Amino acid sequence: MHSHVAGDPSKRDFEQESTRAGAPMRVRARGRAVLSNPMTNRGTAFTLEQRRALGLVGLTPTGVTTLENQTKRTYEQFRRASTPLAKYLHLAQLRDRNEVLFYRVLTDHLEEMLPIIYTPTIGEAIERFSHEYNRPRGVFLSIDHPEMVEESLLNYGLGPDEVDLIVVTDSEGILGIGDQGIGGIQIAIGKLSVYTAAAGIHPRRVIPVVLDVGTDNLGLLSSDLYLGERHARVRGERYDEFLEHFVTTVDRLFPTAMLHWEDFGAANAHRLLTRYRDEYCTFNDDIQGTAAVVLAALLAAVDITGMDLCDHRIVIYGAGTAGLGIAGLVRDTMLRSGRADRTEQVYDRFWPIGINGLYLEDQPELLDFQVPWARSREDVADWDVADPDRVTLQDVIRNVRPTILLGTSTRGGAFTEEIVREMAEHCERPIIFPLSNPTSRAEATPANVITWTDGKALVATGSPFDHVDHKGVRYHIAQSNNALIFPGLGLGVAACQASRVTEAMIAAAANALAGLVNAWRPGASLLPGMNDLRRVSATVALAVAAQAEKDGVARRPLTNPIDEVYGRMWQPTYAPIEPI
């Protein structure tokens, strides 16, 4: 059942079975109330019979149109918008007016619209949140009023078994643009739009949440239009108590929901995931989603090299939250393969580099989650380096002769011609992934990497890049976009009502994704394209649900997996209406 209205279901404006595709919409509201609700409103597509039954006669233009024609008209309006932000605002207004039409347009043009409703355009929408504010969507929780957390979540109007997903951010680490205060609600909304468009999670089974813990962004604090709490970001014990209160309240009110952490700062992201992952159903997309999609591309690339994953030497340039999230999942995959029998043997395959060069065990600036990855001084004792306290990427490439180079540094152009050529000299098929977003921050362009290695390199990027033509071969560049993983993961968790998200479930998602490509053809992409997201998400969901059952965390194991997963995938079509 579903509605905006909390409390007694018999008083709700509309009801719909939200775990079954194609279920009828039962509408109690009449007249303009029907048109003002984005889930019931279908504008000019109401039939004459529906208009009479719902008190809409005279409230819409006389002509009756189809969803297909509405989609065509709306897409033309979208194309006319002159800037990415204008396109974003057009789609946001459409979602607030007619949710089915919004998702229909989005699913029909997902590859084109994903960069608008999600990265990179959403970054600008978040920065402009208080200026462009139109109507509220989501739940705003203030650290200054912890006593209102429960009331606020209940006011969203969903019952204990009506929520599959809660995406929450504290807006500290938004998309490389940093602390954005209350505007971070937009990243939670954008993420949930992708869950729905790509995996058919019902738009009324999700809650976007922003934790307003203050902001250190002086531009926001000094703006008289800013809509969040006007004080510095709260940290330490009070922050932790607020988070604990939030998590336990969510678990009590919505016991089957997955809690998705989004864009928390580096100091908190790992800490919170570690704190809650074994007790609650929780997932951090920046750490685990990024890791899974990169692992999928790596598995496809490693397959081509003919060398076992455990034998590769891996350099991670920019070894922060995302970089070490990838390293952790690759490490666990090596251990699960049975080829590597000891954890320390596996750590030996990784060379992490941060702002002060190669991580060395006695560096005081390393954070807790970085310490296990640091190399010993003996590892570099016989290297010829200019500065033993700051071992550079160049030093590491020359001495380690890596087979895999991953960039998560946001330092545009850091993989220079000299570095790439040096790596290719000692490696038949170098795996080089410049993963930083946006394109201006990518460590190298695919065109350069392919030219400098004479087409030998296996490449995946974080941002979308055009194909590269080199010596008669067209190279399709894999975009390791988290949207290939997290929607399917969420769908799989919801379908089997998993009580936890285990590392093995994330690895299963990566393996399922890697299995969808045939990367052997010269120039083939290492990952599926964005235009195939529904098939990708369903495949990932099936693998995740099966692994959840193996791990003993599926509260409702699937008896007929394909039917149960596809049957849950909401389609953006107008459901039959039953006036009540």
The pLDDT of residue 464 is 85
471 is catalytic: no
Q: What percent of the chain has pLDDT over 70?
A: 97
Task: Render pLDDT for 511-538 as a digit per residue (tens, 0 to 9).
Answer: 999 999 987 888 999 999 888 899 999 9
With 70 as the cut, is the pLDDT of residue 7 above it? no
Which band of pLDDT confidence, cut at 50, 70 and 90, is reported for residue 124? confident
Task: Render pLDDT for 462-475 as a digit per residue (tens, 0 to 9).
Answer: 988 999 999 999 99
- Which of 537, 424, 482 lies closest to 262, judged by CA? 482
With 60 as the cut, is the pLDDT of residue 11 above it? no
> Would you give the distance in Å from CA 172 to the centre of its chain?
16
Omega of the bond leading into 438 within 30 degrees of 0 (cis): yes
Residue 310 CA to residue 371 CA, distance in Å, equals: 21
Higher pLDDT, 249 or 439: 249
Question: Given the DSSP bridges, would you call strands 14-16 and 25-27 parallel, antiparallel or unpaired?
Answer: antiparallel
Measured in residues, the chain has a length of 580
Axis crossing angle, helix 99-108 with helix 185-199, rounded to the nearest 10: 70
Residue with tokens 């999700």: 206
- In degrees, rounded to 5, the angle at the alpha carbon of residue 133 between the alpha carbons of residues 129 and 134 is 145
118 is catalytic: yes
Task: Render pLDDT for 259-285 as a digit per residue (tens, 0 to 9).
Answer: 999 999 988 998 999 999 999 999 999
With 50 as the cut, is the pLDDT of residue 6 above it? no
Which of 32-36, 133-137, 309-313 comes out lowest in average pLDDT?
133-137
With 80 as the cut, is the pLDDT of residue 5 above it? no
Higher pLDDT, 127 or 27: 27
Which band of pLDDT confidence, cut at 50, 70 and 90, is reported for residue 341? low
Residue range 373-393: average pLDDT? 93
User: Which candidate in 87, 156, 191, 280 is catalytic?
Assistant: 191
Residue 296 CA to residue 303 CA, distance in Å, equals: 11
- Which of 392, 384, 298, 400 lies closest to 354, judged by CA? 392
Residue range 288-302: average pLDDT? 95
* CATH architecture of the domain formed by 288-480: 3-Layer(aba) Sandwich (3.40)
> Would you give the distance in Å from CA 224 to the centre of its chain?
32
- Which of 282, 262, 371, 281 lies closest to 327, judged by CA? 371
Residue 402 CA to residue 436 CA, distance in Å, equals: 20
With 80 as the cut, is the pLDDT of residue 175 above it? no
Cβ–Cβ contacts within 10 Å for residue 219, how many? 12
Reduced to 3 states (helix: H, G, I; strand: E, B; else coil), residue 363 is: coil
**Phi, psi angle pair for 488, to nearest 5°:** -65, -35
The number of helix segments (H) and strand segments (E) in the chain equals 24, 17
With 70 as the cut, is the pLDDT of residue 83 above it? yes
User: Which candidate in 118, 276, 280, 574 is catalytic?
Assistant: 118
With 90 as the cut, is the pLDDT of residue 131 above it? no
Residue range 398-410: average pLDDT? 96
Mean pLDDT over the full length of the chain: 92
**What is the domain partition of the chain in residue ranges?**
288-480, 484-568
Q: What percent of the chain has pLDDT over 90?
A: 81
CB 288 within 8 A of CB 332: no
Residue 73 CA to residue 44 CA, distance in Å, equals: 12
Report which DSSP code applies to 459. Answer: E
